[in-house]
Amino acid sequence: GENVEQHPSTLSVQEGDSAVIKCTYSDSASNYFPWYKQELGKGPQLIIDIRSNVGEKKDQRIAVTLNKTAKHFSLHITETQPEDSAVYFCAASSTGTASKLTFGTGTRLQVTL
């Protein structure tokens, strides 16, 4: 089955700096890679995703890159703000019947003033 590794487990950046979180996956059949943000007391919220037919996707301050050959993908957050502080999860799946996401262990991002 799929195995997803995520690094780092904790990340502290100053407001305005960039943050990068990296994930690797094992199953070459995986073709869908979402990123979720989870704030305290809430469920994970989908913030951006990428499919295997593209190498990069941007949405305002966040971007995701995908390297299919190396089987890794990354989340980039620029101009970080205190409200970006949360736990971020990467995931991978192959979009067959009822996509089954395999999640990384999460990165706790702390944005300090």
Partner 1 sequence: ETGVTQTPRHLVMGMTNKKSLKCEQHLGHNAMYWYKQSAKKPLELMFVYSLEERVENNSVPSRFSPECPNSSHLFLHLHTLQPEDSALYLCASSQDSGLLKGEQYFGPGTRLTVT
Residues 6+ positions from 96 with CB-CB distance below 8 Å: none
| 34 contributes a contact to partner 1 by CB under 8 A | yes
| 100 contributes a contact to partner 1 by CB under 8 A | yes
CA dist 96 and 110 (Å) reads 35
Residue choice 21, 23, 24, 104 for contact with partner 1 (CB under 8 A)? 104
**Separation in Å, CA 72 to CA 25, 67, 92, 101:** 6, 5, 10, 16
Shortest reach from residue 106's CB to partner 1, in Å: 7
Count of C-beta atoms within a 10 Å radius of residue 57:
15
| 28 contributes a contact to partner 1 by CB under 8 A | no
Residue choice 45, 67, 81, 112 for contact with partner 1 (CB under 8 A)? 45
Q: Could you say which residues in the range 72-91 bind partner 1, by CB under 8 A?
A: 89
